Each structure stands twice: as structure tokens, then as C-alpha cells.
Amino acid sequence: MMKNFILFLTLLVLLSCNSDDPNPQNCTEVYVFGLNITFKDANTQAIITDGITVTAKDGSYQEQLTRIEDSDYFLGAGEREGTYIIEVTSNNYQTFISNPILVDKTEDNCHVITRILEFQLTPN
């Protein structure tokens, strides 16, 4: 009797684990940033990484973009779709505010599509 009960429970667990989805989603575990932005001095075309603060805003959501050490770009909007306005502030450059930037999901809805952008900053 106990064997039958255990067999029944095992069968029940196996059946409950079966997915009804004929096309199960196999997303990778890689973390994708929606924004990858480089800034250049409008006069010299030199890449700017120091002395600027880069903020991405989408409605009430906002985040400060980060720069990986020894890189020339700022990253943000990790796995977050939205319509972003980029604001750059600095003591050495005029405040910059971008047009809206759309970050979409991939077709399989697993990740976001990275927007690789470059903007020119005007010195004070």
C-alpha cells in the first residue's frame, strides 16, 4: 500500500513538472544593458569619461549610468526596456539633454536590444 502511494506521488510530481508550452523559452543568463553611450568633446573629438555625470530617465524611473574601469563608454538600463532621456552634467561642459531613446526587448522577449550611441558635449 505504501509503495503504491509513493509511486502515485512520484507520478503526480512528474506530471506537474511537465510544461504545457509547446515552445519553451530558453533565455541565456547574460545580463544585457539597454544603453551603451560614448561622449566626445565637440571641439576636439576627444572621448570624455571623467568629470561628467550621466543620468538616464524614463518617466519617474532614473539611474546614473556607470563606466567600467578603462572603458570609453557608459552603461545603463540593464535588462530594462523603456524610453529614456539622457542628461549629462559637468563643471567643464554645458548640460546635455538628449531626445527620447527607445530601448526595446528582443523578439524572444529574453533581453533588451542594446542602443549604442555617441553624443557630443560642448565645453563651457
User: Domain span at residue 81?
Assistant: 33-121
Other beta carbons within 10 angstroms of residue 88's beta carbon come to 21
The reply to whether 23 falls in a domain is: no
Residue 16 belongs to some domain of the structure: no
Asked whether residue 27 is domain-assigned, the answer is no
52-58 vs 82-90, strand pairing mode: antiparallel
H-helix or E-strand spanning residue 51: none
Return the number of other C-beta atoms located less than 10 Å from residue 17's C-beta: 7
100 belongs to a structural domain: yes
Q: Does residue 112 sit in helix, strand or coil? A: strand
User: In b/e form, how buried is each residue of 33-49, taking b as 16+ CB within 10 angstroms?
Assistant: bbbbbebeeeeeeeebe
CATH number at residue 97: 2.60.40.1120
Model pTM score: 0.78
Instruction: Please state the domain count of the chain.
Output: 1
Residue 54 located in a structural domain: yes
**Is residue 6 one of the residues assigned to a domain?**
no
Domain annotation covers residue 81: yes
- Taking only the tens of pLDDT, the chain with its 124 residues reads 544 434 444 443 444 444 455 556 689 999 999 999 999 999 999 999 999 999 999 999 999 999 999 999 999 999 999 999 999 999 999 999 999 999 999 999 999 999 999 999 999 9
Conformational region of residue 27, where left means phi above 0, alpha means psi within -120 to 50, and beta covers everything else: beta
